[in-house]
Amino acid sequence: MRTAILISTCLLTACGPSYTQTVKGPDEMLADQEALAVEQEKKSKDQGEYSGAGANEASDSEKAEKFDEVYTEREISRAVRSAVTCPGVSGVGPYGEAKVSITFNNEGHVVADKTTINEPFAGTPNGDCVLRALNAIITKNFVGQTVTKEIAVKLEQQKADKADAKKKK
């Protein structure tokens, strides 16, 4: 009986699946990646032929190269919300509507300095704060002419500033 169990166990393990684990070398991995790249390229060409894309439609890369107005407007509104708090940060005037002319270069960065903000804000703590907030805007890179935007930021005296002004009187 023992012998029968031993023989059946040996036969069952011998007939079982064999698992050999080998490690792929760098050349084998590179060959696999190249084969995958060729497959993907073939699939993308096949899809391109049947997608019906016309010559008049702009490709994704062409769309990315244009100035993105929607994205830029969102970034400008964020910067303006930040700039509105400037009187509370500086604690001093002037107050009112600051008008700033900002220019976006092709890398998506803003160019705005003391010459781009209206008087009486140029060179004041509030004016400098507004310029810092607007210069922090970064949009997507684009191709073409630089883009200039006119922005108005309403700077109001904060409640704490009003209370301090009443105490001084």
pLDDT in tens, 95-133: 889 899 989 988 888 887 778 888 888 888 888 888 889
Does residue 165 form part of some domain? no
Mean pLDDT for the stretch of residues 46-59: 55
Going from the C-alpha of 119 to that of each of 92, 110, 135, the distances in angstroms are 15, 20, 18
pLDDT at 22 (0 to 100): 74
Tell me whether residue 88 is in a domain.
yes
Q: How confident is the model at residue 11 (pLDDT cuts 50, 70, 90)?
A: low
What pLDDT shows up at residue 19? 61
In a domain, 78, yes or no: yes
The pLDDT of residue 27:
83
Asked whether residue 125 is assigned to any structural domain, the reply reads yes
Which one-letter amino acid corresponds to residue 106? N
Task: Flag whether 146 is in a domain.
Answer: yes
pLDDT at 156 over 60: yes
- Mean pLDDT for 22-28 is 79
Residue 152 clears pLDDT 80, i.e. is over it: yes
d(CA 81, CA 89): 13
Structural domain count of the chain: 1
Which domain covers residue 99, as residue numbers?
Answer: 67-158
Q: The pTM is what?
A: 0.55
Q: How far apart are CA 66 and CA 78, in angstroms?
A: 22
Look at residue 44 and tell me if it is in a domain: no
Residue 64, pLDDT above cutoff 60: no
Does residue 13 belong to any structural domain of this protein?
no
Residue 23 has pLDDT above 80, yes or no: no
In a domain? residue 34: no
Q: What is the DSSP string of 106-157?
A: TTSBEE--GGGB-TTTTTSHHHHHHHHHHHT-B-----SS-EEEEEEEEE--
**What pLDDT is attached to residue 77?**
92
